[in-house]
Every structure is written in C-alpha cells, then in structure tokens.
C-alpha cells in the first residue's frame, strides 16, 4: 500500500519523530549514571521539544494558507524517498524503551542517539523540498542544521567518554 504524502502529513510525522526523540533522550538520561552524559541527554531532549514546537508552527502556517501547488515532481520521487525514510527511521520500528534495552554502556546509548540524529537529518533534508519558502522552509533548514549540531554534540560526548576510559586505563597500567 502506497502512502500519500503532503506537507501536513509529513510535518505531523516530523512532530512525532521529535516527540519520540525527546522521549528517547529522557529515558536514556534516566539510565545514565554519568552526570555529564545525563546533562547532555537532557539538553538534547529539550532541543527535540523545541523542534516539535517549530514543526507544529510551520504545519499550522501551511494549513492556514490557501492550497498551493506541490513542488514539481512528475515521477513522485520525493514522495517515494520520504516514504522510504519514514519507514526506515529508527523510531518507526522501535520504542525508546526497546532501543535502550540492548544498551549496556553510555557509549552504546550515544551510538543509538547518533543513529537517530543521522536518520533525522536525512528525513528533514528531504522534507525541505516539500515546504514552500514562504511557508517555513527556512525553519526546516534551521532544524536540519540543529540536528547536524546534535550529531556533533553526541560525537564529542562519545569521544570524551572514550578518552576518559582510555586515560583511566593507561593510568592503571
């Protein structure tokens, strides 16, 4: 069965992805004993909540405007691309609890978070082409930039953990 995508539906999907991301980060923070990692995860949860609000504002702007012509896409490639991304997105298949069940270390939690953020960047990059510039494409672009920043934050946090672990290992040798 083929899904039909329109900007309203895709923005609703984006809001759900952000809700799921916020729930994931809050659940992950509850499982992490390390104060710095816990603080970073709670910071990311707050950012996801803000993204959810932004997508809601953009969606409301779209539905309040007169109908507009969809972007030129005679072969429906954008729709197929977004459908594939939505179906493969980490939170389309597993809940935060299921994802975290297999995580035994803070590094594993960060790996799951990195996967989530990278998939979000791909999804939102595809979403940009469906949102007209006058109705909020710039907001979507800002969120893509912020999701990329989340990747950088998570990578830095993971490197900090690895450096702390290897530094402790070398001091004990």
pLDDT by residue for the chain (173 residues), tens only, comes to 334 456 666 777 788 888 888 999 999 999 888 788 999 999 999 999 998 998 888 788 776 664 555 556 667 676 677 667 666 666 666 777 788 888 888 999 999 999 989 988 988 888 787 777 777 778 778 888 988 999 999 999 999 998 988 886 666 65
Q: What's the pLDDT at 6?
A: 60
Superfamily of domain 7-65+76-168: Ferritin, core subunit, four-helix bundle (1.20.1260.10)
Q: What's the pLDDT at 116?
A: 87
The phi, psi pair for 6, rounded to 5°, reads -135, 170
Dihedral-angle region of residue 136 (phi above 0 means left; psi in -120 to 50 means alpha; beta otherwise): left
Whose structure tokens read 């402790």?
168
Q: Is there a contact between 137 and 128 (Cβ–Cβ < 8 Å)?
A: yes
């Amino acid at each position: 069965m083929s899904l039909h995508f329109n900007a309203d539906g895709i923005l609703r999907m984006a809001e759900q992805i952000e809700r799921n991301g916020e729930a994931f980060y809050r659940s992950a923070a509850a499982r992490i004993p390390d104060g710095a990692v816990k603080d970073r995860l709670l910071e990311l949860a707050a950012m996801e909540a803000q993204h959810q609000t932004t997508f809601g504002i953009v969606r409301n702007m779209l539905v309040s405007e007169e109908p507009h012509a969809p972007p030129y896409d005679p072969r429906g490639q954008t729709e197929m691309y977004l459908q594939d991304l939505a179906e493969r997105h980490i939170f389309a298949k597993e809940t935060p609890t299921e994802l975290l069940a297999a995580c035994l270390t803070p590094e594993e939690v960060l790996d799951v978070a990195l996967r989530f953020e990278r998939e979000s960047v791909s999804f939102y990059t595809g979403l940009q082409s469906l949102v007209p510039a006058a109705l909020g494409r710039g907001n979507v672009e800002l969120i893509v930039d912020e999701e990329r920043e989340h990747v950088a934050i998570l990578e830095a946090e993971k490197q900090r953990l690895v450096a702390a672990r290897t530094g402790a290992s070398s001091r004990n040798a």
